[in-house]
Amino acid sequence: MKINRRKTSQLSVGKVGVGSDFPISVQSMTTTKTKDVEGTLAQIYEIASNGADIVRVTCNDIDAAKGLVEITQRSPVPIIADIHFQYKLALAAIEAGVHGLRLNPGNIRKESQIKDVAKAALDANIPIRIGVNGGSLDKDLLEKYGDSTPEALVESALKELKYLEDVDFNDIKISVKHSNVRAMIESYRLLAEKVNYPLHLGVTEAGPLPGGLIKSTAGIGTLLNEGIGDTIRYSLTTDPIEEAKSGRQLLEYLGLRERNSLDLIACPSCGRAEVDVIKVAEEAQNVLNNENIPLQVAVMGCVVNGPGEARSADLGIAAGKNKGHLFIRGEVVKVVNEKDMVSSLLEEARLIVEEGIEARLAKADENAAEIAQKDVDDLLTSQGDINNFLERKKSVVEITSNQDNE
Ligand code: SF4
């Protein structure tokens, strides 16, 4: 079930390769004033430690450009300067040592200015992202298409592309972001047919949680699953740490990056649940996240279905008869008291990280499987009503209708 990525040209943003030969990278953007060097660097460190490979910083005035001199030197990840309206700030950012530029074709429109920036970027050996945005599209294109349609966004990107290629500039990646998820998806699909440059994916102005997260995941996830996209950004109206985490998690969930963080799965709970699944799952998520456990861990509400349904999880726990059945890859390895479910999960997770799955399976408690099977059998006997609920309801209806006929 591997995703086949669309073949692209390759480029480097500082030490991070972008294109189909490289892992898909995660980006986010600072919200600080760039002239506040210490504040901006503190945020860059936080964003980077939460999963971002590249961080974008606004370069909106000369003080910001001056700030970039130190920021680029001290940042743990490559820095991209975000440029709007003033091409001279792009030149200043290059001089400051940034690792890449983002230009908005909707508001830097003079061909000569764009070419000047491209020539300077060529000399500095840094890439440029053509960052088209449905909300700030070139006025001429808006008039031509009547709206910010996928065709209009792609035409804007291709027009800018030509200016860059005219001066032999090819270290290019492109984005055609839109706040409408379906328009965003269509724009990227259309663009992917026309160019082989790496694509930067994002749903622009996605908004606060949870809507912003859902929109971004729907747009970015759909395209990644089709093999389109080489670097991504969640544009959320919240702390940028969440953007970095979300981007990283999406890539891990799609199998596009190695897991380096917790993937907690849990059943939604139902009438069979033997424990407050929401509470236990939240507690487990907190303790395991605090230790940054890079495993898929399951919390399941009942032992009847839990271990089987979460068989693919590295580790899990299922509740039943005031106990917790701790299982590794679907095999019960220990039965603990219900009150110890979360602490046992944490302890076993640490041991798996230290010793590995196979070693922990080999050390399973001797009687665990037997005790577990007995709990399952007892519950199946006492909860048979739930299993046969529909059958019984049908019988009740039949009995009643028979009585009516008599
Ligand atoms: S694991 Fe058990 S409690 Fe959870 S949803 Fe499935 S049947 Fe219900």
Assigned fold of 263-383: Sulfite Reductase Hemoprotein; domain 1 (3.30.413)
Ligand 1 atom with least separation from CA of 318: 1
User: 297 alpha carbon to ligand 1 midpoint, in Å?
Assistant: 16
Buried b (16+ CB within 10 A) or exposed e, 309-338: bbeebbbbbbbbbebbbbbbbeebbbbbee
- Closest C-alpha among 77, 87, 171 to residue 123: 171
Which two structure tokens, joined as six digits, stand for 97? 């040592």
Strand partners, 207: 236
Contacts of 302 (CB under 8 A, 6+ apart): 267, 272, 273, 274, 318, 319, 320, 379
Contacts of 34 (CB under 8 A, 6+ apart): 40, 57, 58, 59, 60, 63, 64, 67, 68, 71
Portions of the chain given CATH number 3.30.413.10: 263-383
- C-beta of 309 in contact with ligand 1 (< 6 A): yes
User: 300 alpha carbon to ligand 1 midpoint, in Å?
Assistant: 6
- Residue 222, pLDDT score: 98
Q: Mean pLDDT of residues grouped by 10 in the chain (406 residues)?
A: 94 98 98 98 97 97 97 98 95 98 90 96 98 91 95 96 96 98 98 98 96 98 98 97 96 92 93 92 95 94 90 94 94 95 97 96 94 88 60 64 59
Dist CA 353 CA 320 (whole Å): 26
Q: Note the CATH number of domain 11-253.
A: 3.20.20.20
Contact assessment for residue 224 and residue 250, using Cβ atoms and an 8 Å cutoff? yes
- C-beta of 127 in contact with ligand 1 (< 6 A): no
Contact assessment for residue 200 and residue 230, using Cβ atoms and an 8 Å cutoff? yes
- C-beta of 14 in contact with ligand 1 (< 6 A): no
- Residue 1, pLDDT score: 79
- Residue 108, pLDDT score: 86
- C-beta of 383 in contact with ligand 1 (< 6 A): no
Residue of the CA atom closest to atom 2 of ligand 1:
302
Q: What is the pTM of this model?
A: 0.88
User: 384 alpha carbon to ligand 1 midpoint, in Å?
Assistant: 14
- Lookup result for tokens 């950012």: 93
Beta strands 231-233 and 263-266: pairing type? unpaired
Residue of the CA atom closest to atom 8 of ligand 1:
270
Contact assessment for residue 16 and residue 77, using Cβ atoms and an 8 Å cutoff? yes
Portions of the chain given CATH number 3.20.20.20: 11-253
Ligand 1 pocket: which of 265, 299, 302 to mutate (most atoms within 8 A of CB):
302
- Residue 149, pLDDT score: 97
- For residue 210, say if its preceding peptide bond is cis, omega within 30 degrees of 0: yes
Contacts of 333 (CB under 8 A, 6+ apart): 326, 327, 348, 360, 361, 363, 364, 365, 368
- Residue 113, pLDDT score: 95
- C-beta of 280 in contact with ligand 1 (< 6 A): no
Helix axis angle for 150-166 and 181-194, nearest 10°, is 40
User: 221 alpha carbon to ligand 1 midpoint, in Å?
Assistant: 28
Contact assessment for residue 326 and residue 332, using Cβ atoms and an 8 Å cutoff? yes
Dist CA 338 CA 318 (whole Å): 9
User: 305 alpha carbon to ligand 1 midpoint, in Å?
Assistant: 6
**SS3 of residue 103 by DSSP:** strand
